[in-house]
Chains A and B, each alone.
Chain A
Amino acid sequence: MNNINIAETNQNSKKSRITKAANYDSVIKTKQLTKKYGDQRVVNSVNLHVKKGRIYGLLGRNGAGKTTIMKMILGLTPITSGQVDVFGQNIKGHEKSIYPHIGAIIETPGFYPNLTGTENLEIFAKLRELNSPNAVKNALEVVGLPYKDKKLFSKYSLGMKQRLGIANAILHNPELLILDEPTNGLDPIGIAEMRDFIKNLSVLHEKTILISSHILSEISLLADDIGILHRGVLLEESSMSELERKNSKYILMQVSDVQKAALILAKQFNIKNYALKDNHTLHIYDTALDVGEINKALVTQNITVFSSGLCEDTLEDYFKKITGGKGIA
């Protein structure tokens, strides 16, 4: 994807008015957000905080409630209970002033199949009353799609449709982007390009981005803040750096006799904080210890050391731990 050069719009003056007027600490803030379909709670008392200029990754397995939360934030689906504030205002009743500040892709992007990508965007640009004659061209350039191409939307690949969706979302240069699984259908190179593009939007253009995904690596590479959603419940919300700090570090030892090794460690190094994972694996949580010294002590006592080293729990390990499940993609 190309460098970002999104057209300025006539809505900028309106935008500055609303953002200056509103007093808020989070661009998106939900309070006890709940959605029920019949008796089933698909979103349960979610308190989400998306801070200005940051990328918030909403991570959860398929069916966790990510899309429903995004739809409720955007006012596209009614809220059962709770509240959503966007730019410090309740979105309900303020759609006209808030929507011009938001660009969004929810699920698969929908466009008119009988029109080309350019024709589709021209309709949305006109309806948004964008003054810049190059708004469509620039948005297409940003996502790497050709301008005035004759290919109809119905002939687009899933990746191209996704790119066109992004182009439509950034067409009016919004301050907030809500992207529901934007890398769906993209090939690995496309995913990497999209990641760089989203990162650039946040870093260079100070956009606030809420992105959802069920792909853990994608979120861990992109997000500044993360929300872990499981069965409609937001289990964890923290910054990635905080999460990294929380993730336990340990010395991993693979030895021939784990019981004997544990006794030696307790006796010689006074280690109490350790865990026997299986017959040959030991985790020592006191990471200040010298791994070389431990190796030496074990070898002296005729214990074979297959491997040893400092390890850290991955985000996936953490996800497994807090969801009590099988992990994620």
Chain B
Amino acid sequence: MQLLLWAELQKIRRSNIVWITIFAAILIAAIVFTGGLDMYKGPDVHYGLKTVYDGSRYIDNAGWYMDEVQPWATFFILPAVIALMGSYIICREEDDDTLKSLRLIPINEAKLTAAKMILTFAFSIFLYLLLFAVTFLAEAVLHFNSLSAELVLSALKEYFLDGVGVFFAVSPIIAFVPRMKKGYWPALVFTEIYSVAGLFAGMSDVLKQFYPITAVFNLSGYHLTSAGKIMMSMIILLLCGCLSLFLLKDLKHSKKM
């Protein structure tokens, strides 16, 4: 498995899709930053470890930027690019016609697919941690003294669990699209629709526990909620993982040969 993971990592060297995903992550951070330059007018808002004060720019409030980037990234960008990346690395063996060479080694295809899913999982966490690093650096430059260790660590935990949760939420799409030729582009579209739909699911208290994209926020702690609801969201995300396993098990590369 270690060898397969090493090989998968080598295969994505110089890959445009990796750069697209990193660019997308930084782009959303930049967009939220620009939005944060607006002035907040209204009563002071306290939630968790963060406060937004009346008459201040959003970005000047410690923790706001680290906090705000999470939903924007999760509803609009990262699930789609993670699905793109995951399905690309699964589809590419067929697309690049390397599968026959791998079979003649021989490679265990189940392990190969598992290595690809593990890499996608790691990549999902990496992208969220990259976003965390970007937001933390911006906050540190703007108001280092206002940042508490507790606030930073709590944000780090949220980003990490966002990465974990989003991978599980999009994994059924990653597992489904290799049935199509160049299935990674449809994966991008499907996942974008799926993640934006999370905005509407998030409007309902009940639905937001069950809809996988919003369930991610319950898991990560971005939504302050009860232990029961967190458990429910974890189960939903695990079910997504099980569904993807089922779909991958059913995936027969040889159909095209």
Contact = CB atoms under 8 A, between A and B. Distances in A.
Interface of A: 71, 74-78, 95-96, 99, 102, 104, 106-115, 119, 122-124, 126-129, 152, 168
Given A110-B99, A112-B92, A127-B105, 18 more contacts: A74-B104, A75-B103, A99-B104, A99-B105, A107-B97, A109-B101, A110-B97, A112-B11, A115-B11, A115-B13, A119-B13, A123-B10, A123-B11, A127-B3, A127-B7, A128-B105, A129-B3, A152-B14
A99 B106 contact: yes
B30 interface: no
Contact of B7 (A74, A102, A123): A123
Contacts of A109: 97, 101
Most buried by B among A77, A102, A123: A123
A226 B100 CA distance: 26
Nearest to A114: B14
Interface in B1-33: 3-4, 6-7, 10-16
Contacts of B39: none
A293 B102 CA distance: 66
A110 B96 contact: yes
Report the interface size class on chain B: 20 to 34
B13 A95 contact: no
Contacts of B13: 114-115, 119
Interface of B: 3-4, 6-7, 10-16, 92, 96-107, 254, 257
A104 B104 contact: yes
Contact of B257 (A77, A95, A110, A129): A77
A99 B101 CA distance: 11
A111 B101 CA distance: 9
Contact of A113 (B12, B96, B102): B96
B14 A115 contact: yes
Instruction: Name the residue among B3, B7, B101, B257 with the largest chain A CB count within 10 angstroms.
Output: B101
B6 A114 contact: no
A124 B105 CA distance: 8
A74 B106 CA distance: 11
24 contacts: A75-B103, A76-B100, A76-B103, A76-B254, A99-B104, A99-B105, A110-B97, A111-B96, A111-B98, A112-B11, A112-B92, A112-B96, A112-B98, A113-B96, A115-B10, A115-B11, A123-B7, A124-B101, A126-B6, A126-B7, A127-B7, A127-B102, A127-B107, A168-B101
A294 to B, nearest CB: 58
Nearest to A100: B105
* A-B CB proximity, top 7 nearest: A110-B97, A110-B98, A114-B14, A95-B106, A99-B106, A123-B7, A114-B15
Contacts of A152: 14
A108 B10 contact: no
B17 to A, nearest CB: 9
Nearest to B93: A110
A126 B3 contact: yes
Contacts of A77: 254, 257
B3 A106 contact: no
B12 to A, nearest CB: 8
